[in-house]
Amino acid sequence: MSAGRTTNSPIQIDVPLARSPYRVLVGPGLLADCGPLIAEILKPSRCALVTDSNVGPLHAEALETSLSEAGCDPIRITVPAGESSKSFEQTSKICDAMIAAGLDRSSFLVALGGGVVGDLAGFVAAIYYRGIPCIQIPTTIVAQVDSSVGGKTGINAPGGKNLIGAFHQPRLVIADTDTLRTLPPREFHEGFAEIIKHAAIRDPEMLEANDSLDGIAPLIARNVAIKAAIVAEDEFETKGLRALLNFGHTIGHGIENAAGYGRLLHGEAISLGLIAACRLSVQKSGLPQSAADQILAALARHNLPQNLPADISTESIMTALRTDKKFHAGAIRFVLLRNLGDAFVSDAVSAKDIEHAIEALR
């Protein structure tokens, strides 16, 4: 993996996969350059631009202009904003719109938005004509540091989050940090849950990262480099290493599901999952309480939730967990910390341990 920067150019992080290597570009003002950047790797053609009802009015026109000037012919497809769009219904609607527009296997898809759009559009790209190229243009912190990189695409099922999907690596990721300036405060801060997760498992210094937008590109790139390194070593999550990225997510996804998608933002649910995972790490793997307290303090600085709403039952969370794809053949694979920067997958966490950790969040 390499990362470099030249004057007036974006930070580049390479994701060196054996079969499908690609670049992640991070920096301000990149939307206007997307067309030429995409044209460097894909033959200009008709393409689908998938976005949502929040992001489209803000950024789609600038992207369409850049694509058109580079010789592409973008067809904008807008889905409703929110987690509920990660569904078979929206998947079908996007595919139908692409078919009606005459897009075929020579076309490509551009995903413009946060994690919901990236996951949904990436899944469409994976199945449309048995797979067409996908360009990810993430517009939230969660998407820029995590979900746009690594090729995991998917939609939700009634029984759980991301249970239906495919590995489909993007051909290019372009993270324009200026798009973060249009995020409401709540959506901006939730993204730091994923940064704190990366800090906990690989780079503890990032626990002290501030939330200033000025100069945020190096922080985004630092997180991308962590994700890229892990993905390069374990692309299809067969070696156990990629599972480390699930720190805080086992319980966090259960809470997100049990609350009803949309009530808690992804990062807010993950904040609660991180707190529970820290508690279990102190109990099961000897994580110093002082280290756990550093993680909790970082979450608090970014206004992330510390307590589970009383009306979300432990039973409903556990029901969601039992269908989570992080359970392997019925066994619980739970990511714990021995210390900051030292994560591992444990089989020593029982369902009862998880119940107690959830109750402790109240």
Fold of domain 247-359: Dehydroquinate synthase-like, alpha domain (1.20.1090)
| 227 catalytically annotated | yes
pLDDT digits (tens, 9 = 90+) for 215-270: 899 999 999 999 999 999 999 988 989 999 999 999 999 999 999 988 999 999 99
User: Could you identify the residue written with the tokens 């409903």?
Assistant: 316
User: Can you tell me the mean pLDDT for 300-305?
Assistant: 96
pLDDT digits (tens, 9 = 90+) for 148-200: 999 999 999 988 889 999 999 999 999 999 999 999 999 999 999 999 999 99
User: Can you tell me the mean pLDDT for 14-33?
Assistant: 97
> What is residue 145's predicted lDDT score, i.e. its pLDDT?
98
Among residues 246, 268, 279, 302, which one is catalytic?
246
* Average pLDDT score, the chain: 95
> What is residue 312's predicted lDDT score, i.e. its pLDDT?
97
| 93 catalytically annotated | no
| 249 catalytically annotated | yes
Do 194 and 223 form a contact (C-beta atoms < 8 A)?
yes
Domain spans of the chain, in order of start: 3-197, 247-359
Give the model's confidence band at 5: pLDDT under 50 very low, under 70 low, under 90 confident, else very high.
very low
Do 94 and 85 form a contact (C-beta atoms < 8 A)?
no
- How far is it, in rounded angstroms, from Cα 218 to Cα 233? 23
- How far is it, in rounded angstroms, from Cα 118 to Cα 120? 6
User: Can you tell me the mean pLDDT for 281-297?
Assistant: 98
| 46 catalytically annotated | no
Among residues 190, 237, 256, 268, which one is catalytic?
237
| 315 catalytically annotated | no
- How far is it, in rounded angstroms, from Cα 244 to Cα 72? 39
User: Can you tell me the mean pLDDT for 297-301?
Assistant: 97
| 83 catalytically annotated | no
> What is residue 325's predicted lDDT score, i.e. its pLDDT?
62
> What is residue 259's predicted lDDT score, i.e. its pLDDT?
95
Among residues 222, 253, 302, 326, which one is catalytic?
253
Among residues 8, 19, 130, 352, which one is catalytic?
130
Among residues 197, 222, 242, 279, which one is catalytic?
242
| 130 catalytically annotated | yes
> What is residue 1's predicted lDDT score, i.e. its pLDDT?
45
User: Can you tell me the mean pLDDT for 61-85?
Assistant: 97
| 189 catalytically annotated | no
Residue type, 311: D
| 152 catalytically annotated | yes
State the CATH architecture for 3-197: 3-Layer(aba) Sandwich (3.40)
Among residues 59, 227, 279, 302, which one is catalytic?
227
| 246 catalytically annotated | yes
Do 221 and 13 form a contact (C-beta atoms < 8 A)?
yes
Top-confidence residue, 53 or 6: 53
